[in-house]
Amino acid sequence: MSSFFGLAKTRTFKPRKDVPEGTKQYQLRKYAEATLGSGNLRLAVVLPDGEDLNEWLAVHTVDFFNHLNMLYGTVTEFCTPKECPIMSAGPRYEYLWEDGVYYKRPTKLTAPEYVDTLMSWVQGLLDDETVFPNRIGVPFPRTFRDTVKTIVRRLFRVYAHLYSNHFEQICALGIEAHLNTSYRHFFLFIHEFGLVDKKELVPLDELNEAILAENSKATR
């Protein structure tokens, strides 16, 4: 794994700071790391008995952001305005950016501009204690699940872009196993909790169906 991290550029974003020891999110992250390390991705996404769903969603959203940020960092020399003039998932799917603040209407951006804008937007939410509280006694906002849905729907677009536009380069770097494991974990998680509408996932439909079939066999 260290060789993979060594490939990642530092150009983009700092990882979200770790949650304080002793908090529920800290304990859940340790649990998630242990179950993920077992190789059982099905077990790694299921909400542990008696645990709070919002805490579980928060832990995984932060981890998906950090990991995807590193994965995208490995292809920034290939994902340029010249090579990727639109943010797409292959020739049939194009993504426009809108955040209601700086981009009040859907706006066409190059892929690197789109990803940088998306990651900055996510990082701003993760660092906002009123949106992603990680201190004991601070409640989650009522809109938290909707916020998570929006974040993971947009993170999916980065995975879709990596698979559709940069998979050959990722294979050449020898890190396709890291991408596949990261995406499998991400997809099983969003599927488990119904976080992304099926129509949004169409660009990777074949891969998604394969993951579900493989997961079904593993649980028999």
CATH assignment of the domain containing 86: 1.20.140.30
Determine how many CB atoms are found less than 10 A away from the CB of residue 6.
Answer: 8
Do 175 and 132 touch, CB atoms closer than 8 A?
Answer: no
In DSSP notation, 19-88 reads: PPTTSHHHHHHHHHHHHHHTT-HHHHHSPPTT--HHHHHHHHHHHHHHHHHHHHHTTTTTS-TTT-SS-B
Per-residue pLDDT at 137: 76
118: CB partners within 8 A, 6+ apart? 97, 154, 155, 157, 158
DSSP state of 91: T
Instruction: State pTM to two decimals.
Output: 0.84
Per residue of the chain (220 residues), give pLDDT as tens. Answer: 333 433 344 344 444 555 555 555 555 556 455 544 445 677 789 998 888 999 999 989 999 999 899 999 999 999 999 999 999 999 999 999 999 999 999 999 999 999 999 999 999 999 999 999 977 778 999 999 999 999 999 999 999 999 999 999 999 999 999 899 999 999 999 999 999 999 999 999 999 999 998 877 665 5
16: CB partners within 8 A, 6+ apart? 62, 65, 66, 123, 126, 127
Do 55 and 134 touch, CB atoms closer than 8 A?
Answer: no
84 marked as part of a ligand binding site: yes
Looking at the structure of the chain, the number of domains it has is 1
Cα 45 to Cα 19, 65, 73, 102: the distances in Å are: 19, 16, 25, 34
60 marked as part of a ligand binding site: no
178 marked as part of a ligand binding site: no
- Residue 130 to residue 123: CA distance in whole angstroms: 13
166 marked as part of a ligand binding site: yes
* CA 5 to chain CA centroid, nearest Å: 17
Per-residue pLDDT at 2: 35
Query: Tokens 């947009």 — which residue?
Result: 154
Domain holding 85, by residue range, is 2-218
Cα 66 to Cα 12, 70, 126, 175, 203: the distances in Å are: 11, 7, 11, 16, 23
Of the candidates 62, 50, 32, 47, the residue with the CA atom closest to the CA atom of residue 193? 47
